[in-house]
Amino acid sequence: MFYVYEWFIVETGEIIYVGKGTRNRYKVRKHNRLFNEMILKHNCESRIVKEFEQEKDAFEYEFERVLELKLKGQCVCNIYNGGTGGTTAWWNDEYRARYSKNNVMKAISQRERMTTNNPMKDKNVSRKVAEKISRKVCIEDEIYGSLASAAASYSVSPQLFLYWLERGYTKDHKRCYYYGEQPKELKILNNCGTKEKISVIIDGIAYESIKKAAKAVGGNDSYLSKALRKNKPYKGHICQYGNQQPSQGKSDNSTLEGSTTNG
């Protein structure tokens, strides 16, 4: 036996989900993210609404029921219009055409609503978005015609470069900012708790992270971090953060692996 079942909010009677099942499927309290969140927020119960001998007939009724309820603003937890779960060998061209024809997102009213509510149809909004995208960008004293061209100079996505603009510096700690604005004060964190990659200079050679710098001298990044924080040489090498004065003291061999060689 096959059946179509519904989940509903007890207090209001609103139907939030329709499905097709057998045996105890209607009692299962886990379907998709929307459904899972809904039953945590509300007191929900399920019920069998119609039984069928053939699975195909159950699928057809599920499809019709979901469509009917969606047009009423219910069935919010059904991502699809139903009729496609379980055994789908019967899902042929005829049913695909039917699904496409009744797809709520293809309805003329829905398309008109999406067009009307599209913020980019507002000339003021679209102008502001266009201005933001096309604004000139500076990297130190070099001017780029747009955010995209500045990002291209680093071979990164515009989204990543936008993040750099917000924090005020690029991956190699060059100041970046919109043309006409004051650049932010460059602050490079120098503690091992930061999530940013930190520029490190070893014997005058710059590395984009502590890990790469440590690897270059055959060392360990955690020990190198300690040397950097204490402003001491590491394994005999003069090391510093990108914004830090180079270390001048003697290497602390007892705590920094006991070696001053590069091996």
To the nearest 10°, report the CA torsion of 83, 88, 94, 96. Answer: 60
> Both 103 and 76 in a single domain?
yes
> Both 153 and 197 in a single domain?
no
> Both 222 and 140 in a single domain?
no
> Which range of residues forms the domain containing residue 150?
123-178
Residue 8: inside a domain? yes
Distance CA 117, CA 115 (A): 6
Residue 52 CA neighbour count, 13 Å, CB half: 18
Q: Of 110, 136, 166, which marks where a domain is finished?
A: 110
DSSP, residue by residue, the chain? -EEEEEEEETTT--EEEEEEESTTGGG---SSHHHHHHHHHS-EEEEEEEEESSHHHHHHHHHHHHHHHHTTT--TT-SS-SS-SS--TT--HHHHHHHHHT-GGGSHHHHHHHHHH-GGGSHHHHHHHHHHHH--EEETTEEESSHHHHHHHTT--HHHHHHHHHHTB-TT--BEEETTSPPPPP----STT-SS---EEETTEEESSHHHHHHHTT--HHHHHHHHHHT--BTTB-EEETTSPPP-S---TTTTTT--S--
Give the per-residue pLDDT at 164.
85
Highest mean pLDDT: which range of 42-51, 84-93, 152-161, 182-191: 42-51
Residue 232: inside a domain? yes
Highest mean pLDDT: which range of 67-76, 174-183, 207-216: 174-183
Dihedral sign for Cα 59, 64, 69, 74, please: positive
> Both 11 and 31 in a single domain?
yes
Give the per-residue pLDDT at 46.
93
What phi and psi values does residue 207 have, to the nearest 5 degrees? -125, 145
> Both 192 and 174 in a single domain?
no
Q: Of 63, 84, 110, which marks where a domain is finished?
A: 110
> Both 12 and 102 in a single domain?
yes
Q: Of 110, 131, 154, which marks where a domain is finished?
A: 110
> Both 24 and 77 in a single domain?
yes
> Both 58 and 148 in a single domain?
no
| Structure tokens that stand for 162 in this block | 């936008």
> Both 100 and 163 in a single domain?
no
> Both 163 and 199 in a single domain?
no
Q: What is the pTM of this model?
A: 0.34
Residue 208: inside a domain? yes
**Can you tell me the mean pLDDT for 31-52?**
88
Query: How are strands ordered across the β-sheet holding 205-207?
Result: 205-207, 200-202, 239-241
If you average pLDDT over every residue of the chain, what do you get? 75
Q: Residue 236: which pLDDT band, with cuts at 50, 70 and 90?
A: confident
Residue 77: inside a domain? yes
Nearest to 69 by CA among 109, 16, 21: 16
Residue 118: inside a domain? no
CATH number at residue 96: 3.40.1440
> Both 170 and 192 in a single domain?
no
What phi and psi values does residue 124 have, to the nearest 5 degrees? -65, -40
> Both 21 and 57 in a single domain?
yes
For 17, other C-beta atoms within 10 Å of its C-beta total 25
Q: How many domains does the chain have?
A: 3
Identify whether the C-beta of residue 138 lies closer than 8 Å to the C-beta of residue 177: yes
> Which residue is associated with the tokens 């009724």?
61
Residue 117: inside a domain? no
Residue 174: inside a domain? yes
- pLDDT tens digits along 69-123: 887 888 888 876 554 554 444 456 666 676 666 665 566 666 666 666 665 566 7
